[in-house]
A and B are shown apart, each in its own frame.
Chain A
Amino acid sequence: MTALVETQAPAAAPLAPPRAGMLRTLLSRPMGAIGVAMLLVALVVAVAAPFLAPYDPYESIRVTVFDIYQKPSAAHLLGTDDGGHDVLSALIYGARVSLLVGFSAAFISFLIGGLVGIVAGYRGGRTGAALMRFTDFFLVVPDLALQIVIVAIAGPSLLNIILVIGALGWTTSARLVRSQTLSVRERKFVLRARAIGAGDLHILRRHILPQVLPLMIANMVLVVSLAILSESTLAFIGLGDPTLISWGQMLNFAFDRGAVSAGAWWALVPPGLAIVWVVLGTTLLGTALEDVLNPRLKRHHLERERFPRRRAPAVDPQRPMELPQGAATAPLLSVRDLVVEFESPSGPMRAVDGVSFDLRRGETIGLVGESGSGKTTTVLAMLRLLPPGGRVVSGQVLFDGDDLLALGPAELRAVRWSRLSIVFQGAMNALNPVRTVGDQVAEAIRTHEPGIGRRAAAVRGRELLERVGIPGRRGRDYPHTYSGGMRQRAMIALALACDPDVIIADEPTTALDVMIQAQILELLARLSAELGMATIMVTHDLGIVGERCDRVLVMYGGIIAEEAEAGRLYAHPQHPYTQALLASFPDVAHPDRRLVGIAGVPPRLDNMPPGCPFAPRCPYVFDRCLAERPPAFPLTHGRRASCFLVEPGHERAAAAAVTAEPADA
């Protein structure tokens, strides 16, 4: 759902929870545990009714006027009803009918709905469409009215009631199962099974059913609650099986025979609450089951920001960076010792661990790294746009003298977009699908220039679109009518709307074709040169860095492993990770070079090595790397690297294959 969050979401998130823990997960949630408990009580009552009930409600008794609607007493804990029967006993026996009808009818619905849904979803095409039309028809027919008509005509026997409720209650399951089957059918592992040569039966049995069945069962539990409600409603209207005692029937008799005017609440309230008990139990269980099987995102972007807001800077903003920068101009943007953590069940996970860098006016720097390196988290933290659960622990983001991390909400809003804007990866989701593109560009202008009129903002928006190569009239169209490349252009137009000083481009060309990628990168480079903007390019592609960046920051495991001017980084990489990354990166200009992968995998946030994050994969690792985190060692030409091998006077520096850069390269 959220492509943006993916890159920094805890890497531990598994594809699917292992089945063994499902029951435990279910019971560990209050909803699931309460639901199960409530249903168990109802089940025990229904099964043990003859032992629990003080009287037999089916036994015919001789009644006098004094026996009916007796107040609760020791003999009749819940009083007596309109027929002089013990309410409590009837209540206990009523559980049998409710549960029997509920589960049997739901099972019928489950079978019909499951079959229709799987066939419609798996076959697709005309068969699927016809089945869905059929389902839609049943969906618009008011089911209680139809149930009433059929039961009235066919006669209110228990079997008829079960059949009617079951045969009319399958539509929602069919829709759910169909959409599930459709999405599973399109998944790659099903496609792969088909490519292997597997037949439909094999695919259904081995791949589709195991994925769909759990949700079907969760849905069936919810259908049970609906069936119980339907049964009680039918009985209340007078269409219950006259030979059986059910809660709806009890309410029907009591309501029709003067319980309200007699003030006999005990004949009305207990059966009603009994229905609520069972329905609530099944609803809780069903909802909890769905939630366990298909966990939904529970966090969102508008949650309160978790940030220790403090004006007093932890780091002296005037303190110069201890690395020689070699440039005379003061930086436009300085990030100092930025630390970001994410919440997780096992405690906070550090995604960014002390990142510092400068950005000067008009310059393009590349923030390069693999997934989980913390590059996207770094830029989102700078703008205070961290996904929910993330929080800046410490550090500063100095922009033109202000610490962005210490600004109040109104001050922050004023800086956002007008001075620092961002081009997100995957522009499909970054543009609002129900508003036109032109409208969204104009909105940004009007937000930061409140005086500008609606018309003038629209004209400016048009000009911006033209500027990025989109015909102005397309501004009236919605994002979904744009191609991927066009959307990214629109996103750039949006980012330029308020003439910012800094543009952050987060993987701006991922998922685009190479030709479109070249167009977008060229556009960004041309516009930032024309408008004198500084650019931070976040990417995993060393080629983009080589082509488009002045300076490069290589990130790994939440730290900056190496910083250097682009040409020097390529010619003389200092950090073993940079060296290995370059050795593994294919280069169309050098087809004869054999590529070497880096053994092992990038570290996971929940399992970060205590020393250097690259130590487990480093060919030059020694004991100190495992125990101690290397600081950034300043090198010549404004470079730095976080590796003990480059530490001045390190005895192994010469022995290791670290290429010493000629002092005057």
Chain B
Amino acid sequence: MPDAGRAPVLEVQDLRKQFRGQRSLVDVLRRRPARHVTAVDGVSFDIRPGEVLALVGESGCGKTTTGNLLLGLLPATAGKVILDGRHVGSLSNRDLLRLRRNVQMIFQDPYESLNPRMRVRDIVAEPLRVHRVGGTTAEIDGRVREALEQAGLKPADAYQHRLPFELSGGQRQRVVIAAALALRPSLLVADEPVSMLDVSIRADILNLLRSLADEHGISVLMITHDLSTVAAYADRIAVMYLGRIVEIGDARTVLADPQHPYTRALRSVVPVPDPSARRRPVILAGETPDPSRIPSGCRFHPRCPVAFEACPRVDPPLYELGEGHRAACLLVEPEYRAAAERERLQED
């Protein structure tokens, strides 16, 4: 279980990322301004040791960009990332590289994320070589073996000399996890770690990630669109919509009693295998708006089933609801709720 008392492994404060739109020759000639796409628009959260935090949202909500920012794959436009108590932006390149050992990534597609020409051993040893960790061959050997067995590939010797095409999808994903574990990181960023795997294999990989958190204290940031896996494996959930976190809190609480209308809708459309539990889903019309044209006020209001007069005007902050549960909806505030109630009565 996550240790709430200890300092967070990762703190993200007001992280932003804007992509400059490409202007073509014609755009330049016509003096058309470049379009900026705001992919991440002020995201703050933290992760404690041994905690699994799920970043949930639909494609284009900025969850993957957030992950890439944490890994340093993209430079952030603004905001702070504090890793193991150190502000990433203030470090020299050398210290940054050292710090980056502590965050490792697990990708969605195990069929594509292994170099088809490299053997398992070289794949797992690669991070050690890149970071010049481990020194002697014997030492590297030991750490590769340890990582493979930690990832559930036992005995390690049976896998070390294989090529990726000789492995099943689940085994490949375990190799990816082993490579991530080789540097003994404190945080794993897992971007849709099971969505490309067969249904019957998924639970094992998710159980493995959960046990890494529980037994080895490794924190996991799980980026996913699938609320049902989140329900079973995450400690906390952060729901993202158009570059913002709209609701964050304990996983069970958020799923049992979602406060943001977007979370409610998202929760209601997750298909449930039990036909007797069928309920009428709240299906939002249309698609997520273009992130280069974010709506005014609450960014969710054009699709919100319960929007009222104030929503296009006021951009709601994340209101505290107790026990770390927060939601960015005006309706959780008593004043606004009363106003919305009045509006509804007038319409009736």
Contacts and interface: CB of A to CB of B under 8 A. Distances in A.
Asked if the two chains touch in their complex, CB atoms less than 8 Å apart, one says yes
Interface in A463-518: 483, 485, 513-518
Given A207-B115, A543-B272, A587 B228 contact: yes
B303 to A, nearest CB: 9
Contact of A570 (B108, B266, B273): B273
Contact of B200 (A513, A522, A602): A602
Interface stretch (B1-9, B76-84, B203-211, B328-336): B203-211
A566 B71 contact: no
A570 B276 CA distance: 9
A100 interface: no
Interface in A569-589: 570-571, 580-582, 584-589
Given A188-B107, A515-B284, A522-B281, A597 B272 contact: no
Contact of A370 (B71, B127, B166, B198): B198
Interface string A347-385: 000000000000000000000001100000000000000
A336 B285 CA distance: 42
A595 B272 contact: no
A147 B89 CA distance: 55
Give the one of A516, A541, A547, A596 with max B CB within 10 A. Answer: A547
A253 to B, nearest CB: 51
Given A15-B111, A587-B274, A519 B227 contact: no
B176 A19 contact: no
Contact of B273 (A16, A517, A543): A543
Nearest to A194: B73
Given A188-B107, A192-B176, A514-B58, A602 B198 contact: yes
B134 to A, nearest CB: 14
Interface string A600-617: 011000000000000000
A589 B278 CA distance: 11
B109 to A, nearest CB: 5
B90 interface: no
Interface stretch (B10-18, B97-105, B305-313): B97-105
Interface stretch (A196-204, A264-272, A281-289, A390-398): A196-204
Given A192-B113, A192-B176, A547 B255 contact: no
A408 B171 CA distance: 47
A566 B275 CA distance: 7
B292 to A, nearest CB: 15
Given A192-B107, A513-B58, A514-B269, A546 B275 contact: yes
B321 interface: no
B227 A514 contact: yes
A586 to B, nearest CB: 4
A548 B275 CA distance: 8
B127 A196 contact: yes
Interface residues of A, number: 68
Nearest to A202: B130
Interface magnitude class on chain B:
35 or more
B30 interface: no
A597 B59 contact: no
Contacts of B31: none
Given A581-B199, A595-B203, A596-B203, A514 B225 contact: yes
Contacts of A195: 71, 73, 104-105
B116 interface: yes
Contact of B272 (A16, A198, A515, A589): A589
A451 interface: no
A197 B100 contact: yes
A111 interface: no
Nearest to A550: B275
Nearest to A516: B287
Contacts of A197: 72, 97, 100-101, 127, 130-131
A175 interface: no
A620 interface: no
B265 interface: yes
Interface in B187-236: 198-207, 225-229, 231-232
A546 B274 contact: yes
A189 B114 contact: yes
A602 B170 CA distance: 11
Nearest to A483: B287
Contacts of B207: 595, 597
B165 interface: yes
Nearest to B232: A586
B244 interface: no
A567 B276 contact: yes
A586 B228 contact: yes
Contacts of B249: none
A187 B252 CA distance: 36
Contact of A16 (B72, B100, B116, B226): B116
A584 B206 CA distance: 11
B231 A513 contact: no
Nearest to B117: A210
Contacts of A194: 73
Contacts of A202: 130
Nearest to A203: B130
29 contacts: A15-B111, A16-B117, A16-B165, A187-B112, A192-B107, A192-B113, A192-B176, A192-B179, A193-B126, A195-B73, A196-B104, A197-B101, A198-B130, A517-B271, A541-B271, A542-B199, A543-B271, A543-B272, A546-B275, A546-B277, A547-B275, A584-B203, A586-B228, A587-B228, A590-B231, A591-B231, A591-B252, A593-B232, A595-B202
Given A196-B126, A513-B58, A570-B275, 11 more contacts: A15-B116, A188-B109, A192-B107, A543-B271, A548-B271, A567-B275, A581-B199, A588-B270, A591-B231, A591-B251, A597-B201
Interface of B: 58-59, 71-73, 97, 100-101, 104-105, 107-109, 111-118, 126-127, 130-131, 163-166, 168-170, 176, 179, 183, 198-207, 225-229, 231-232, 251-252, 255, 265-267, 269-278, 281, 283-285, 287-288
Interface of A: 14-16, 18-19, 187-189, 191-199, 202, 206-207, 210-211, 370-371, 483, 485, 513-519, 521-522, 540-548, 566-567, 570-571, 580-582, 584-591, 593-599, 601-602
